Amino acid sequence: MKADNVAAVVPWYKQFWPWFLIALPASVVIAGLSTLVLAVRHSDALVSDNYYRDGLAINMVLEQDQQAAARGLAATIYVARDEQLRVELDGKGDLPQTLTLEFQHPTSAAQDRVAIAVSARHGLYYGGPPELSASRYYLRLLPGALEDVAGRKSAIWRLQGEIDLRTVADTAGVRITANPVSDTGIEGGHSP
């Protein structure tokens, strides 16, 4: 008679609730390790490690904008998919023999490109077609070849703007002008 009253004892590993309670913290640990792996493999290269030094260098960069404004510089940039890059540079004084054009992708430093354009005649420059994706880019135009403007601090002037290759036709140019900053810190006439 005693054997009828005893319920069959099931070991814990064959029951649902212990596994459910173990699965919750285990899934958090797996998610945390996955996040750690993603953070290590894909670090954010757009954040400067030395922001203080970069902040001190801002005055040199502002001088470049003021020099471009004083020279009355403006450029129209034509970026065709399979053709040469063309830059039309307007301004007072002597124009350089070569230009460096930087295409900076807003979110991925791996998609940044640099093109060198050489003068064909006064104010007209041609360069090889940079391999660009159909995306938005920040433009920076500097005088001289790439090795002349290493670090971007030695350039006399610069022009900046934007181009969106998803909307700009191959035949349309993008106009960038000098972007001077006044003593009050308010930016002047920028037209993309």
Encode pLDDT of 149-190 as tens digits.
Answer: 445 556 788 898 998 888 876 667 888 988 765 443 434 443
Query: Which comes out higher in pLDDT, residue 54 or 31?
Result: 31
Give pLDDT tens digits for 81-107.
667 888 999 888 788 899 999 999 988
State the amino acid at position 161 in one-letter form: G
Is CATH 2.60.40.3760 the classification given to domain 51-177?
Answer: yes
In angstroms, the Cα distances linking 99 to 89, 96, 149 are 10, 7, 10
Q: What is the pTM of this model?
A: 0.64
What percentage of the chain has pLDDT greater than the value 70? 75
The residue type at 106: P
Q: 119 near 98, Cβ under 8 Å?
A: yes
CB 114 within 8 A of CB 149: no
Binned at pLDDT 50, 70 and 90, residue 22 comes out as very high
Whole-number Å distance between alpha carbons of 104 and 135: 10
How does residue 45 score in pLDDT terms, banded at 50, 70 and 90?
A: low
